[in-house]
Structure 1
Amino acid sequence: MEAILEMRGITKKFHGVTALNDVNLVVRQGEIHAVVGENGAGKSTLMKVLSGVYPHDSYTGEIHYQGELRKFAGISDSEKLGIIIIHQELALVPLLSIAENIFLGNERAKLGVIDWFESHRRTQELLEKVGLKESPSALITNLGVGKQQLIEIAKALSKEVKLLILDEPTASLNESDSNALLELLLALKAQGISAILISHKLNEVSKVADSITVLRDGATVETMDCRAEAISEDRIIRNMVGREMADRYPKRTPKIGDTVFELRDWKVHHQVHADRLVVKGVNLNVRRGEIVGIAGLMGAGRTELAMSVFGRSYGQRISGEVRMHGEAIDTSTVQKAIRHGIAYVTEDRKGLGLVLGEDIKKNTTLANLTAVSRHGVIDDGREFTVANDFRKRLNTRSASVYQPVVNLSGGNQQKVVLSKWLFSQPELLILDEPTRGIDVGAKYEIYTIIDALAAEGKCILMISSEMPELLGMCDRIYVMNEGRFVGEFPAAEASQERIMRAIMRAGSHDGMDAPPKLDTEHGPLAGETNHGN
């Protein structure tokens, strides 16, 4: 196959710092080409060079597209030639309709007047192509993230896309939505559309990619042809991080003590629809030094459970009991929850976990300002010392604590969020999707930090959509489905098969008042693989 794109010797610097160094990338006509690498490796920067976000005079090197040398002065230049980029942060306007979003800036108009009939007709055609049945007049705000991703692709198709660039398209999607998007990508490939896929999920890369290019520290390490040979995840990881990673998770020797945290008959009603019960009489406990996981499908109620415990940040008509060290406590506000030693690391670090425009120093102390204040005035020297200590302790890679967190990689942003909550000196640390959108090398560092906290005697409650992560890290796993716990497994008896079986079996109990019996009494079943510690 001939090349639709060749990027030759691309070098890009920011204020003297080299972000890309002599990068080469070749994408063939009608192939899916994955670009992988750790956070900060230069993937997004390279795509911004390609799409014209960084104009041709801001970098050195050449872009050849469809056999011609191209010099894009802006993103409109690349879009005119069919190069369309879909960023990880979706660019849809929530309060506009699907049709309005698809043709925003590219309106179907006659004599300056929008032709709504044509806009809706064409939108309907595009929605059918991406497998959506929504009305063109439906508002974006009423759609899930998975459907919004498909609408972004429909928008790209409206611009007669020839080379589609997707930056972490499945980072916020559940498994079924991710699979639907990947199947659509394969269908577009069959129609001759080329694609560049940036993803940290190596299983998805292996599923759809024809070629894989690995970037490390702003340079091309290797390009692999998946059609010529089977490419192992270990080989990809070795190229990404520059070292072997025989163990994805740190070795643990748990030292588990007495029960510290308990929930008893915890019930939570929906934030808006008060008659809908989203957490249905949950009982839970975490012991000192223990890492306890909560597994479940998207929508099972895991985040709602965590947020309701943390100062009732979610829900209404909440009932049940929260206990620490055997005593009932009041967690009705965030401040009270923090005072009782509870901390919550949100799954949305950019929206809820950090103040992106502020520096590391200010973000680190946000949850415990009284500890760096005197008579209500923040002691800048004390704040600097605290932030710098955590920066060293968690190995946060930055120029200094004065660096804005918006300029950090995902893994380093997560370390700042962890620093913020560790400074509040919690006994229970609730981690909601702690490694979402983080590359494999940074994940290992986060796992090491979590392991060290458990070794210090902290109680860890860990929510994750990645079952291998729970199986690799946790001492015990609760399984949640439709607001209830439907299984509980010690690590030695846990497997992906048993967890999914508990979820699927629970589905047959829909509509029952009593929750299904927890599956805690059987060992691993024949044919199952034990992934526990």
Structure 2
Amino acid sequence: MSEQTPALRLENITKTFPGVKALDDVSFSVLPGEVHALMGENGAGKSTLMKVLGGLHQPDDGQIIVGEQPVRMASPLDAKSKGIVFIHQELSLADELTVAENIYLGELPRKRFGLVDWRRLYAQTNEILKRLNVSFDARALVGDLSIANQQMVEIARALTVDAKAVIFDEPTASLTDAEKVVLFDVISDLKSSGVGIIYISHRMEEIFKITDRISVLRDGAYRGTLETSKTNDEDITQLMIGRTLDLSRNLAHHDVGDVVLKVDNLSCGHLYENVSFEVRHGEVVGFYGLVGAGRTAIAETLFGLREPTAGRIYLDGQPTRIHSPADAIRRGISLVPEDRKAQGLVLGMNCRDNMTLPQVDDLKAGPFVAEGAEIAIFDQYRDRLDIRTPGWRQSVGNLSGGNQQKIVIGKWLSMHPNVLIVDEPTRGIDVGSKSEIHNLIRDLAGLGYAVIVISSEMPEVLHVSDRIVAMFSGKIMRTFTSEEVTEDNLIQAISGLSADKVA
């Protein structure tokens, strides 16, 4: 493999922003027909390196070589014209356009006099969609598709050009297990045709399943490349963060208090039915299940985003009706949403304003917000949660994923909730920040918070939970304590194979 001419090389790339050296003499290459993982903590430089490759940033030093030809990437379209295709983690689609228009945006096939050749456009698009085995066609509006299907539209864009290298940035974050299989088949096809694949992911199981080599960045510098078959997750973690992590099962014992939240036979249309559970002070209750099992819909009901069709919610033993998020907040229920960027943060606002947004009215001195009180809250939770930012004026959109998640958590902790619901707490977050979030969740339980964690990652839910609620198709199949749960019986429960309830 090493004797081949790389499909793509980045040599000695350096990039500095005001006060920060984001990339420090980084060299990286991908071979034809290779799946090459690029790993590192959030803030390690992966995104900046890819933005240099994609023409969004110009390097201060170094060069990009495609095949044997040095090139300059002036823009994303220029990069695409040179055979470099990006599949972004953050969707870059136009909701009001069709699937076909999104896939061929800027390159629509034309007839005479510049008119769009719609027949050819739809035929070409449907041929690509057939390779992806999706359930929608070329004429579907992207805005009507699920997030997972929108991700498949992003992937379809890579199949429209003669690609030299395709960069996948966290491509499975919104995909079901079945859709992941299709994605991996597409990657295998691209690999077989000699395309170089750069695969950016924090999911170790995927890295070891589909990649050939793994390169690691840390603090903007290249730390090494390892052959996937000759390494393990401990070696990779050590390269990424310079230390080992505790990812063991949660078997810690601590005192739990009275029941804070009780849900009795709650239903919400076809989303879930007859759901009953309770959460106590000092306890983490994990919800685990396949995509569509109803976990997020339950969280949205508790936070007032959905109206239940049956059942009751009790807080501290009293029946409660929650009609809106404002109701939920007044009653001490907070939700850290699954999509922190779209639902949990205002990316253009600074860190302080994001953290104090729900309590602006309480921080007013006359008609104005008391800036000193806002800064005091931010400083308190920056220190408590170890949020790494130059200061409160920093735009939240410039923070790493882990620090963004801590801002959302800090926002709700500053409201002193009785129940904290955290939906997919570490989605899109590197292993180092993931460990910090896990420790934070356990620490919050130790301080007496009642915590609900919804996760699609089995190691995560095993690591943080005192009890685990397994869901399948809108129903609770079984509730496990941390002592009795095993990977096998948990998989059986979320697959609908076990309906026994454990007290």
TM-score range, shorter chain: over 0.9
Q: For residue 321 of structure 1, report the CA deviation from its aligned partner.
A: 1.6
| Per-residue CA distance 1:297-340 (angstroms, 9 max, x = gap) | 100111111111112x02x4533221122122232222222122
Q: For residue 194 of structure 1, report the CA deviation from its aligned partner.
A: 1.2
Retained in 1: the 8 A contact 2:470–2:493?
Answer: yes
Sort the Cα spacing of 1:478 and 1:250 in 2 relative to 1 into closer, same or farther, 3 A. Answer: closer
Secondary structure of 1:48 counterpart: helix
| Per-residue CA distance 1:218-247 (angstroms, 9 max, x = gap) | 010011123xx4220111111111112244
Retained in 1: the 8 A contact 2:301–2:308?
Answer: no
| Per-residue CA distance 1:474-493 (angstroms, 9 max, x = gap) | 01011111211111111111
Identity rate of aligned residues, in percent? 39
Q: For residue 39 of structure 1, report the CA deviation from its aligned partner.
A: 0.2
Retained in 2: the 8 A contact 1:250–1:448?
Answer: no
Whole-angstrom distance in 1 between the partners of 2:467 and 2:156: 43
| Per-residue CA distance 1:87-122 (angstroms, 9 max, x = gap) | 111222222222211211001002311111111221
In structure 2, list runs of 5 or more residues that go unmatched: none
Q: How does 1:245-264 map to 2 (within 5 A)?
A: 245-247=245-247, 252-264=252-264
Sort the Cα spacing of 1:75 and 1:498 in 2 relative to 1 into closer, same or farther, 3 A. Answer: same
Tell me whether 1:97 sits opposite 2:90 in the alignment.
no
Aligned CA-pair RMSD: 1.7
Q: Which has the higher contact order (CA 8 A, sep 6+)?
A: 2
Whole-angstrom distance in 2 between the partners of 1:352 and 1:79: 31
Q: For residue 133 of structure 1, report the CA deviation from its aligned partner.
A: 5.1
Sort the Cα spacing of 1:12 and 1:184 in 2 relative to 1 into closer, same or farther, 3 A. Answer: same
Secondary structure of 1:257 counterpart: coil
Q: For residue 249 of structure 1, report the CA deviation from its aligned partner.
A: 7.0
Sort the Cα spacing of 1:24 and 1:419 in 2 relative to 1 into closer, same or farther, 3 A. Answer: same
Retained in 2: the 8 A contact 1:485–1:518?
Answer: no
Tell me whether 1:207 sits opposite 2:209 in the alignment.
yes
Q: For residue 126 of structure 1, report the CA deviation from its aligned partner.
A: 1.6
The one-letter code sitting in structure 1 at the alignment partner of 2:437 is I
Whole-angstrom distance in 2 between the partners of 1:251 and 1:384: 38
Tell me whether 1:468 sits opposite 2:470 in the alignment.
no
Whole-angstrom distance in 2 between the partners of 1:444 and 1:263: 30
Whole-angstrom distance in 2 between the partners of 1:86 and 1:108: 22
| Per-residue CA distance 1:130-156 (angstroms, 9 max, x = gap) | 333532212222323333333223222
Work out which of the residue numbers 450, 470, 475 in structure 2 matches 1:479.
470
| Per-residue CA distance 1:461-504 (angstroms, 9 max, x = gap) | 11101111111110101111121111111111112211121233
Q: For residue 445 of structure 1, report the CA deviation from its aligned partner.
A: 0.8
Retained in 1: the 8 A contact 2:64–2:70?
Answer: yes
The one-letter code sitting in structure 1 at the alignment partner of 2:283 is E
The one-letter code sitting in structure 1 at the alignment partner of 2:171 is P
Q: Corresponding residue for 2:295?
A: 302
Work out which of the residue numbers 506, 519, 529 in structure 1 matches 2:501.
519
Q: Corresponding residue for 1:222?
A: 224
| Per-residue CA distance 1:434-471 (angstroms, 9 max, x = gap) | 11111110011111111111111110111101111111
Whole-angstrom distance in 1 between the partners of 2:255 and 2:87: 46
Whole-angstrom distance in 2 between the partners of 1:248 and 1:381: 42
Whole-angstrom distance in 2 between the partners of 1:251 and 1:471: 9
Normalized against structure 1, the TM-score is what?
0.90
In structure 1, list runs of 5 or more residues that go unmatched: 270-276, 507-515, 522-533
The one-letter code sitting in structure 2 at the alignment partner of 1:241 is I
Retained in 1: the 8 A contact 2:266–2:308?
Answer: no
Q: Corresponding residue for 1:188?
A: 190
Whole-angstrom distance in 2 between the partners of 1:132 and 1:324: 43
Tell me whether 1:38 sits opposite 2:31 in the alignment.
no
Tell me whether 1:106 sits opposite 2:121 in the alignment.
no
Normalized against structure 2, the TM-score is what?
0.95
Whole-angstrom distance in 2 between the partners of 1:517 and 1:85: 43
Secondary structure of 1:492 counterpart: coil
Whole-angstrom distance in 2 between the partners of 1:204 and 1:505: 25
Instruction: Count how many residue pairs are aligned between Structure 1 and Structure 2.
Output: 499
Q: For residue 61 of structure 1, report the CA deviation from its aligned partner.
A: 0.4
Sort the Cα spacing of 1:361 and 1:262 in 2 relative to 1 into closer, same or farther, 3 A. Answer: same
Sort the Cα spacing of 1:293 and 1:321 in 2 relative to 1 into closer, same or farther, 3 A. Answer: same
Sort the Cα spacing of 1:117 and 1:490 in 2 relative to 1 into closer, same or farther, 3 A. Answer: same
Higher mean C-alpha displacement, 411-420 vs 352-361? 352-361
Q: Corresponding residue for 1:346?
A: 337
